[in-house]
Amino acid sequence: MAAFGRTFPALIRSSLTQTQRRLSAAAAHDEQAARTWKILSFVVALPGVAVCMANVFLKEQQHSHEQPEFTPYSHLRIRTKRFPWGDGNKTLFHNSHLNALPDGYEGHDE
């Protein structure tokens, strides 16, 4: 038991020094990896986001903002039960300009 008491702290010390060496080597590798990801973020990711934003802006400029024509299809806008909010006829995220009710768009008498 006494021998174990003398060798155990030595094993712990040698284990800790090896761990510290591995961690310092890993830290040097992590610094290089962090630098690489930082460069990639500025060189690839930010221009990619800028190109996507420009694409969305240009597509939105070409997009028609007119209300689509209402066609009363029998299989669409079926209301078998009232919604539990509002007047019970509009969906939760209702857009009066784009989402038609069963009898047509709101505010239009056609």
Burial category of 100 from C-beta neighbours within 10 Å (exposed 0-12, middle 13-18, buried 19 and up): buried
Would you place residue 26 in the very low, low, confident or very high pLDDT band (cuts 50, 70, 90)?
Answer: low
pLDDT at site 110 = 46
pTM score, whole prediction: 0.43
Please write the tens of the pLDDT for every residue from 92-101.
998 888 888 8
What is the residue whose two structure tokens read 């590798």? 29
Tell me the three state secondary structure of residue 22: helix
pLDDT at site 55 = 96
Distance, in Å, from the CA atom of 72 to the CA atom of 67, rounded to the nearest integer, reads 15
Please write the tens of the pLDDT for every residue from 61-75.
988 778 878 888 888
Most confidently predicted of 45-49, 94-98, 105-109: 45-49
Domain residues of the chain, as ranges? Answer: 1-55
Q: Which residues contact residue 78 at a Cβ distance below 8 angstroms, ignoring those fewer than 6 apart? A: 102
Would you place residue 83 in the very low, low, confident or very high pLDDT band (cuts 50, 70, 90)?
Answer: confident
Distance, in Å, from the CA atom of 10 to the CA atom of 5, rounded to the nearest integer, reads 9
